[in-house]
Amino acid sequence: MKHNFNAGPCVLPKPAIEAAIDAIRNFDNTGIGILEISHRTPGWERTMGEVEQLWRELLNIPENYAVLFLGGGASTQFYTLAANFLNKKAAYLDTGSWSKKAIKEAKLYGDVEVVASSGDKNYSYIPKGYKIPTDADYFHITSNNTIYGTEIKEDIDSPVNLIADMSSDIMSRPIDIKKYAMIYGGAQKNVGPAGVTFVIIRKDLLETVQRTLPSMMNYQTHIGSAPKNRSMFNTPPVLPIYVMYQTLLHVKKQGGVEAMNKINKQKAELLYSEIDRNKMFVGTAEKESRSIMNVCFVMAEEHKDKEAEFMEFATKAGMVGIKGHRSVGGFRASIYNACPLESVQALVNCMKEFEKQYV
Ligand SMILES: *Cc1c(COP(=O)(O)O)cnc(C)c1O
């Protein structure tokens, strides 16, 4: 049996995969597969409406926010959001590689003030005590740092419009949407496959847009004038959206994001406590900044020479995707919503077994 800890794309709920296979063969009892229908067929328009409804229900998204499903990944949002909302100056929190990329793109459109950075300690913590300038057009954060395993686990207060890249922790906990002006992310970490990007946006934000933008770059285009056109200005990525739909149905069936959060915390606690107990390993993120989605750890100083050996040991035991990102090294276990507790337990057992050979 394989235990999938890939950082993204990553493990998805089995029922979602099965439903997608069925839909490829025969979508909505049409006798035609989902890849071969028009996105204007009533069955698809209904599905789009249902996916949006699921997002609204699971995250308690108020009416004055639009929920969009677009192409291009979170990386496309880095410049799109800046093109729409950066008129003079924007504030950014620099908590890792993805923040840095977002900052780089924003600079194409105006001044960027980096209010704080944890780059001094290889992004092993979430900065605190910084000041958000009140004259900024918006304040941008990366809620979960997929590569470094740190996470902003609460909804922060911002005196200016708060924009969050939640690619890797959306739907892992309940969030207070009203604290955010915009939330976006690629689906391929926690809510679906690659190919669809979610954007939750407070509609009044659109009134602040000053630039003339290409249609595809303008959020208003995708919001449309009637709900029927929402996210359907051009052909949407139907299969990724369908898999996302099924993934969220599964989240709902399990009790919603509160239930997910409970089990996510349990999984993270299980793995972190083993890292802290086991003499062979150490965690790389500061304890209070630890992510419940991506758990990063390295060999302890006196066991540095055994990294390749543990990798081989774990691979033989069925662990997949635990190699750490090159900027941190060591290991990273991504334990998103769809990663079962049994997989985390299997990894913990594997770490215990490995320790027995040496301690
Ligand atoms: C993966 C990831 C991205 C990049 O997403 P793409 O959809 O590949 O562009 C951006 N931000 C975070 C936090 C990520 O984890």
Q: Does the annotation count 22 as an active-site position?
A: no
The full set of domains in the chain, from first to last, is: 3-9+255-356 (3.90.1150.10), 14-253 (3.40.640.10)
Q: Mind listing the pLDDT tens digit for each residue in 320-352? A: 999 999 999 999 999 999 999 999 999 999 999
Q: Does the annotation count 165 as an active-site position?
A: yes
CB within 6 Å of ligand 1 — which residues?
8, 73-75, 98, 142, 146, 165, 167-168, 186, 189
Round the CA-based radius of gyration of the chain to a whole number and report it. 21
Q: Does the annotation count 305 as an active-site position?
A: no
Of 165, 169, 267, 323, which one is the catalytic site residue? 165
- Which residue of 103, 150, 165, 191 sits with most ligand 1 atoms within 8 Å of its CB, as the best mutation to test the pocket? 165
pLDDT value of position 276: 98
Q: Which residues pair with 332 in a beta bridge?
A: 296
191: amino acid identity, one letter: V
What is the distance in A from the centroid of ligand 1 to the CA of 301? Answer: 31
Closest residue by CA, ligand 1 atom 8: 73
Q: Which atom of ligand 1 is nearest to the CA of 147?
A: 15
pLDDT value of position 224: 86
Strand order in the sheet with 162-165: 65-70, 197-202, 182-186, 162-165, 139-142, 89-94, 111-117
9 prior amide bond cis, ω within 30: yes
What is the distance in A from the centroid of ligand 1 to the CA of 287? Answer: 24
Q: Mind listing the pLDDT tens digit for each residue in 107-152? A: 999 999 999 999 999 999 999 999 999 999 999 999 999 999 999 9
> Which tokens in the block code for residue 283?
């965690």
Alpha helices (H) in 36-181, listed in sequence order: 42-59, 73-85, 97-106
Of 44, 55, 94, 98, which one is the catalytic site residue? 98
Q: Mind listing the pLDDT tens digit for each residue in 228-243? A: 678 999 999 999 999 9
What is the distance in A from the centroid of ligand 1 to the CA of 170? Answer: 12
What is the distance in A from the centroid of ligand 1 to the CA of 75? Answer: 6
Q: Provide the pLDDT confidence category of residue 227 given band limits of 50, 70 and 90.
A: low
Angle (CA) 105 109 112, round 5°: 70
Q: Which of 354, 358, 348 is nearest to 273 (CA)?
A: 348
**Cα–Cα distance for residue pair 228/47, rounded to 1 Å:** 11
Q: Which residues pair with 297 in a beta bridge?
A: 283, 331
Q: Identify the burial level of 355 via C-beta atoms within 10 angstroms of its C-beta, where 0-12 means exposed, 13-18 middle and 19 or more buried.
A: middle
Which long-range contacts does 337-342 make (Cβ < 8 Å, 24+ apart)? 337/171, 337/172, 337/190, 337/191, 337/251, 337/260, 337/264, 338/10, 338/11, 338/12, 338/13, 338/190, 338/247, 338/250, 339/4, 339/5, 339/10, 339/11, 339/267, 341/263, 341/266, 341/267, 341/270, 342/3
Closest residue by CA, ligand 1 atom 5: 74
**Cα–Cα distance for residue pair 239/250, rounded to 1 Å:** 17
Q: Mind listing the pLDDT tens digit for each residue in 271-288? A: 999 999 999 999 999 999
What's the gap between Cα 327 and its chain centre?
Answer: 19
Q: How many percent of the chain have pLDDT more than 70?
A: 99
Q: Provide the pLDDT confidence category of residue 359 given band limits of 50, 70 and 90.
A: confident
pLDDT value of position 229: 72
300 pLDDT higher than 80: yes
What is the distance in A from the centroid of ligand 1 to the CA of 333? Answer: 17
